[in-house]
Structure 1
Amino acid sequence: MSQLTAPVVWSPATREHDPRHEIWVGVATQGTEVATRVDVILQALRDAGHRLVEAPGHGDDVLRQVHDGELLEFLATAAERWAAGPYAELVGQDRVVPYLFPTPAMTAGLPVRRPVSVHADAGRFAYDTMTLVGPGTWEAARAAVDCALEAAALVGAGERLAYALCRPPGHHATPAGFGGSCYLNNAAVAAEALRGQGHERVAVVDIDAHQGNGTAAIFYDRADVLYGSVHVDPGAGWFPHVVGYADETGVGPGVGATRNVPLAAGTGDGPWLAAVGDLAAWVAQAGCTALVVSLGVDAAADDPESPLLVTHDGYRGAGTVLGHTGLPSVVVQEGGYHLPSLGTLVAAYLDGHADGLS
């Protein structure tokens, strides 16, 4: 293992979110984004010699630069509103599930009012039926933001590498919406915090199996935060389906500051690592002075969500490649759902990143 170790920023409150199940094509299926993820990652990183740091509370200033206030208000109050309604008694549902989505297909140019019922209001913010809100969801998501902010603060104080054990993950959360098992965008918060420390240009490199549509959307019209992602091709039927294509490169001042590298399902270490290397070179050439890594390990072969075939060595190699940028780095946990291998995959990546920085 590398001599360089990383502070592992975590919070016990990230265990509070319990999705229980997801609604996929109308059917309740077992949730995979479970609290045990926190414990297996903690154990693996403790065993690898990294030091644990419990995240203190941080204010909302940076969070409100990333997300609209109405989304934050909804997430903070939705579970209580749902519990006060008739849903558990009438249909046995104790989690917030959207009932309708007020898209242009529904409203068709008519004036749109705020729904009174929480089951209708949920569709203003949720963009899928899989990302349920329950007791503890807000507390866990907000604690994950604190982990990201503390990791950024540690890097600002001189750490070369800090890891934020964020759970639930965040890269699918958009400025005013949540979905894809994500509620608040931890990576975007970390990038914004680094910008606030004086870094003129920050890069976010996303190696989760799926494109981080939320992070891409937050920074799509900005030149001061680059977003690069290597992910399974949405054009082949993979989440997020409608975005994440190679021709999406930003708008306005952000033209050229977004890069998507879609890969075919079944792609293994070689092409995947080459894509990570291309993104690392792009970041270095763009003059970025700090790096955020959205570390999803759901591209691993054993992962239940995996369309790709990345190995432990592949993740270690990705860490080495991104560490070689030499940039002070915040690594933010995204996906990864195969509990027997989850912790060792994260440890492999951090070991590689530390080696790259050494």
Structure 2
Amino acid sequence: MPERVTAIESALADWPMVEATAHDDGVLLTVHDPRLVEHLRTIWSRWDDYGTERVVPYLFPTSGLLGDLPEREPVAPHAAAGRYCYDTMTLVGPGTWEGARAAVDVALTCVDIVGDGVVYGLTRPPGHHVTRTAYGGSCYLNNAAIAAEGFRRAGHERVAVIDIDAHHGNGTQDVFYSRADVFYGSVHVDSGAGWFPHYAGFADEVGVDAGVGANLNIPMAPGSGDGPWLDAVRRLADAVSTFGATALVVSLGVDAAIDDPESPLEVTLDGYGEAGRALGALALPTVALQEGGYHLPTLGALVRATLEGMERP
């Protein structure tokens, strides 16, 4: 992770930067179940020596395990690990909570200072795979959802989150799936083609209850490049306009790029610049937060190209 941060910082070295300011847990606890937050805050200090250097889930309270039984709060830390984490790759170690909580401060600071312009937050770890009640996908707290809720608290009645990461932001979708005040739209590699998060991100997921129509997924076939991907980004931008959002959060993953090892999409540097222009043309207060991006030689340039596209004249 430090190498990725350094690569992005180097690419943006001539841009003004500010330090995040500390925020209380008010917005965080609106987005996430307080039990999840407390688990992340305390699990490392409660972790006994089970022969690993990280908190590793080993038992998950799935419907297949519980059946009709009530879900209970486990006492043992090694059981609690699977209660709040839905995969085996998102490990917790020393500093995990502090890093994730600092990223929340970055997201909320961006909302504080954006005005009517564009602000980028270098949020590491990323967050768009965290649901209201569980973390996973190498994410711990949902920075984009927290920023969207921050915009709502700042007085914006309708907020949009557009996710251009290569993988569907199942967590952000989950947080807002039944709400009519936050639109979530995502372009991503087709989860049904064998890509994370596997169980979410399909085109028929349109929201429930009050949220019907406020969720738009556009899955891409593996190998998709600039043409279909940019068509999808423009479709998402049109949906934001139709929704009537007055503020925008962008989950800025650049792992859909042609050289990235974590996805089969083939978007170019120019494609990311065009995506930035499509989103910038909405002329909304915009907070862009870093999600994925794993090809170090091109990472910084991809982030910069997207942000330059978003810039207003």
- The two structures have a TM-score, normalised by structure 2, of 0.98
Is the aligned partner of 1:95 residue 2:42?
Answer: no
In 2, the alpha carbon distance for the partners of 1:235 and 1:111 equals 31
In 2, the alpha carbon distance for the partners of 1:74 and 1:246 equals 33
Is the aligned partner of 1:115 residue 2:74?
Answer: yes
| Structure 1 counterpart of 2:246, from 289, 293, 318 | 289
In 2, the alpha carbon distance for the partners of 1:174 and 1:225 equals 15
Q: What's the CA shift for 1:118? A: 1.2
In 2, the alpha carbon distance for the partners of 1:340 and 1:260 equals 30
| Structure 1 counterpart of 2:174, from 203, 217, 220 | 217
In 2, the alpha carbon distance for the partners of 1:305 and 1:345 equals 15
Report the 3-state secondary structure (helix = DSSP H, G, I; strand = E; otherwise coil) of the residue aligned with 2:57: coil
1:52-108 CA-partner distances (Å, limit 9, x unpaired):
1110111110001100000000001111111xx122xxx3x1100001001121112
Q: What's the CA shift for 1:159? A: 4.7
| Structure 1 counterpart of 2:49, from 86, 94, 101 | 86
| Structure 1 counterpart of 2:89, from 121, 130, 155 | 130
Q: What's the CA shift for 1:110? A: 2.3
Report the 3-state secondary structure (helix = DSSP H, G, I; strand = E; otherwise coil) of the residue aligned with 1:227: strand
How does 1:185-200 map onto structure 2 within 5 Å? 185-200=142-157
In 1, the alpha carbon distance for the partners of 2:158 and 2:97 equals 30
In 2, the alpha carbon distance for the partners of 1:320 and 1:86 equals 51
| Structure 2 counterpart of 1:56, from 21, 24, 28 | 21
| Structure 1 counterpart of 2:121, from 149, 164, 172 | 164
C-alpha distance 111-274 of structure 1, shift in aligned 2 (>3 A): closer
Report the 3-state secondary structure (helix = DSSP H, G, I; strand = E; otherwise coil) of the residue aligned with 1:51: coil
In structure 1, the residue matched to 2:9 is 42
In structure 1, the residue matched to 2:38 is 73
1:249-278 CA-partner distances (Å, limit 9, x unpaired):
001110000000001000001110010000
How does 1:319-330 map onto structure 2 within 5 Å? 319-330=276-287
Q: What's the CA shift for 1:302? A: 1.1
| Structure 2 counterpart of 1:140, from 99, 102, 105 | 99
The RMSD of aligned alpha carbons is: 0.9
1:201-223 CA-partner distances (Å, limit 9, x unpaired):
00000000011000000000001
Q: Structure 1: which 5+ residue stretches go unaligned?
A: 1-33
Q: Structure 2: which 5+ residue stretches go unaligned?
A: none
User: Identity percentage over the alignment?
Assistant: 62
Contact 2:132 2:175 survives alignment (8 Å): yes
Is the aligned partner of 1:243 residue 2:200?
Answer: yes
In structure 2, the residue matched to 1:268 is 225
C-alpha distance 193-106 of structure 1, shift in aligned 2 (>3 A): same
1:292-319 CA-partner distances (Å, limit 9, x unpaired):
0000001011111021001111111100
Contact 2:116 2:284 survives alignment (8 Å): no
